[in-house]
Amino acid sequence: MLETEELLAPVDIDVTTEGFTLVLFNDSHHDFEEVIEQIMKATGYGYLRSEEITMEAHTKGRAAVIRGELNICLKAQTVLEEIQLRTSIEVNV
């Protein structure tokens, strides 16, 4: 019989701190220019910075897009997901 794991109490997260990172994952459904343009739209970054993020996601499988307060990451995530880019928001520890 399998033992049940002890459930941990929820952790309180201060969403007003700059403790979050929006991560973009590589995919094979979008071309580079499409991803670069969407990153520019989501973040306000210039072309070169957006291209760096796109290349990192392509070569490493994932790339940090933006770090900051949760609401900033959520807004950028919404824009990236408009074209079905795969993202996640991670808590910085």
Beta bridge partners of 89: 22
Express each pLDDT in 8-38 by its tens digit. 444 444 555 579 999 999 988 999 999 999 9
- Of 13 and 87, the structure prediction assigns the larger pLDDT to 87
Mean pLDDT of 38-57: 98
Q: What pLDDT sits at residue 8?
A: 45
Q: What pLDDT sits at residue 57?
A: 97
Q: What pLDDT sits at residue 17?
A: 55
